[in-house]
Structure 1
C-alpha cells in the first residue's frame, strides 16, 4: 500500500578508492592505506554555497563540514507512537488525517516534540497530489489505495490535466506552519513520489506485487507510458517547487518501486524523468537539497548518481561502507540502520549507529533508517536513536579510526 510501504510520514501502519580500508569520509584530504603504495587525495564535489545558519540537515546534505551527522527517520510519524494511535482512533480516515491542516501539523510535530530529530517531515503520502492532476483515488483500510480508472490506453491520458496547486493548499499551509513551529532548530522536509513509482499505481489501479501491467506496458504501449511519465514529471516538479516555496527546506524523492525493474529498465523508464525533475527544480530552487531513495537500490547506486540529486538514501541491504566506496564523493548519503535494530537491546543499537556513522564518513551523511519505522517499534528505542546521534562528535568518533588508517610516514 502506498501509505504503508512508501510514505515516510504517511499512514505508517508507512572517489571509490580501492582496498579494504574503512572509508573515513571526505571532510578533508586524508591519506589512506590501500593496495597502492601511492598516496591519494580525494577531491570534493559540492559546488553550491550554503550558510552556517541553515539547519544541520541541510548543511550535511550539501556536504558542509558539520560536527555530527543529522538524523531523522522515514515514517517518522505514525502508529508506533501512542499519541498518534489515539489521534487516529478519533480520526479514522487516513485521507482526513493527511489532508486537514490542523491534523497534518499535529501529527508531523508529534515526533518533533517527543524526540527532536534534525528533520521534521510533513505527514502526507506520495499519492496526495494525484487528484490535483486528474487521478482521483480512494483508500480502503485493508486494500490500500484504489484507483478506479487506471490508465491503460492513449484515450485514458485525456483525463489528465496540469496540476492544480489550489487543490493542495492544505500541503502548503501545513508546511508554512511547520516551518514557523520548528524555526531553524530542524529542517522541514517535503517529499514526493518519483514518476515511475507514481505511474505504477496509476497503471495497476493500486498496490501490486507483480507490476505485471506496467512492465507489460513498457513493451506493448511504450508511447502511452512515456506520455504518462512525462506528464507526471511536469506535475511532480511543480509540486516540489510548491512545497519549497511553502517552507520545505529539503525534498525527498521516493522511487520506492524503482528497484522492482532491472537496472537497464530503470535507466530507460525512471532515471531520465527524475533527472528532468531535478533540472527543473534546480532552476527554480537551486539551494534546496534533493534526496533520492529507492527500496532495493543495491544494483542501482552508481546509476542513481546520474539523476543529479544531492543525497542518495541507502536501504539496509547495502553495506554503508560499500555504498560509500561505490558512490565516492559524488553525492552525500542517507541511512541506513536496519529498522529491526530498534527492537534490539539498546547497546546493540548504539553499536550499530556508531558502525554506520563510521562507515559513512564524517562529511555528507544524514543518519536514517534503511526503511521506515516498523509497527510496534518501542518509543524508547526511537528516543535512544536520537539521543545517541546527538551525543556523537566526529572528532572523537574518528580519532582512533584515523590513527589506524593513516598511512605511516617514513
Structure 2
C-alpha cells in the first residue's frame, strides 16, 4: 500500500505541537472512546448495525468517528478512528463477538498450548484489516483538516490476555497462569502478536493516521517484574521497529503509550521510544512528571466518573488538573474512556473548561514573559 499524501491541509495542529514540546496557545484535548456508546447519534447507527459491522464498513466507521467532531465543533483537538483492539485476534484467526451487555467474547479462546496451532502461521495484515485502512483514509478526507486523526492498537500483553481469558476478567487468572506455567509459549504468542501489531500500525500510518496510541489496558494487572518481563520488551519492539520503518519511508508520526495502572513502570515507559505517555486517573500528575523526568509529553488524566458530577465540580477539578500538569508537554484527556451512561452535555462542560482555563494559562504566561 502506498502512502496517500493528497489529504486536506491541517488547520489545527495543536496536539502535534504539544507532542514536540512546542509552545501552544492553549492545552489540546481529546478523550478516549469519544466516538461511541455515550452519543445518541452513535446509538442510532448501532441499532441498525452489529458492532463489528461498523468497524468493518469504512463509511460507517468514518461516520461514527466524525460524530463527536461535529457535535463538539472546535472543542476537540484530535479524532480517533472507530475500531476495536480485538480486530488483531480476529486477523490472527480467532472468532470475537461483541455481546450486548457483556462486551467482547471469544467462543473458542486459547486455553492450552495445543490451541496455539489454531492461529494462522502468517497474517497478511494488509488483506485482513484493509477495512481499517480504508476507514482511516476516508476519515482523513472527511475531517477536512479540522484536527489530526489517531490510529490505535492493543498492546501484546492486553491482546494475549483477551485471547486466553476469552473476554473481560476481574482477575486475569487464566492469562497470568499461562505466564507462570508456560513462559516459553507465552513469549512465542506475545512475539507473534507483536509482529502483527507492527505491520498493522505501519498500515494505519500509510493510510493516513497522524498519531498512534498503543493501549496496554491490562498493564497494571501485572506485577512490576511480570510487566518488565512480558510487556515492556514487546512495547519496546513496537516503538523501535515502527520508528525504524518510518525513517526508511520518510514518515513521522508520534507514538503514544497508555499502560493503565502500570504506575511502577512510568520511568521505563518514558524511555523506550514513545513520544507521549498517557496516564490513568490514579496517578498524581506531579509525581508522574518526576517519574518520567520530563522526557515525554504526558496525557490525561481526569477520572471518567467526574463527568457524572455537577458542572461546577467538573470545572473545579479541571482547573486543578491543568495547574498540576502545567501548560507545557501536556495533552488533556480522561484517565480512561467515556462510559455508556455519560451525558454528552457533561463532556461539553469538561471540554469547554479545558479550553477556557488553558487559554487563560497561556495568556498569563505571555503576560509574564512580556514584563
Q: Which moved more, 1:221-230 or 1:125-134?
A: 125-134
Change (3 A) 1:151 1:343: closer
Matched with 1:312 is: 277
- How many residues are treated as equivalent by the alignment? 352
Does the Cα contact within 8 Å between 1:237 and 1:277 map onto a contact in 2? yes
Structure showing the higher helix proportion among its residues: 2
Q: 1:53 and 1:273 mapped to 2: Cα distance? A: 35
Q: What do you get for the CA RMSD once the two structures are aligned? A: 2.2
Task: After TM superposition, give the deviation of residue 212 of structure 1 in Å.
Answer: 1.3
> Normalising to structure 2: TM-score of the pair?
0.89
Q: Which moved more, 1:143-152 or 1:116-125?
A: 143-152
Q: 2:146 and 2:217 mapped to 1: Cα distance? A: 29
Is residue 332 from structure 1 mapped to residue 290 from structure 2 by the alignment? no
- Residue 241 of structure 1 is aligned with which of 178, 202, 220? 202
Superposed structure 1 runs of 4+ greater than 4 Å apart: 51-54, 397-402
Q: Which moved more, 1:241-250 or 1:54-63?
A: 54-63
Is residue 82 from structure 1 mapped to residue 10 from structure 2 by the alignment? no
Change (3 A) 1:54 1:346: closer
- Residue 65 of structure 2 is aligned with which of 91, 108, 123? 108
- Residue 160 of structure 1 is aligned with which of 116, 120, 126? 120
Q: 1:195 and 1:293 mapped to 2: Cα distance? A: 13
Q: Which moved more, 1:133-142 or 1:195-204?
A: 133-142
- Residue 131 of structure 1 is aligned with which of 74, 77, 90? 90
Q: 1:149 and 1:224 mapped to 2: Cα distance? A: 18
Matched with 2:244 is: 283
**Structure 1 gap ranges (5+):** 1-50, 403-410
Q: 1:375 and 1:142 mapped to 2: Cα distance? A: 11
Does the Cα contact within 8 Å between 1:297 and 1:314 map onto a contact in 2? no
Higher Cα Rg, which structure: 1
Q: Which moved more, 1:257-266 or 1:277-286?
A: 277-286
Kindly report which structure 2 residues correspond to 1:44-83, keeping only aligned pairs within 5 A, or say none: 55-83=13-41
Q: 2:368 and 2:215 mapped to 1: Cα distance? A: 34
Change (3 A) 1:140 1:166: same
Q: 1:248 and 1:261 mapped to 2: Cα distance? A: 30
Is residue 345 from structure 1 mapped to residue 345 from structure 2 by the alignment? no
Q: Which moved more, 1:224-233 or 1:319-328?
A: 319-328
Change (3 A) 1:101 1:355: same
- Residue 198 of structure 1 is aligned with which of 159, 166, 189? 159
Deviation digits for residues 175-204 of structure 1, max 9, x if unmatched? 011111223321100110000000001122
Change (3 A) 1:347 1:144: closer
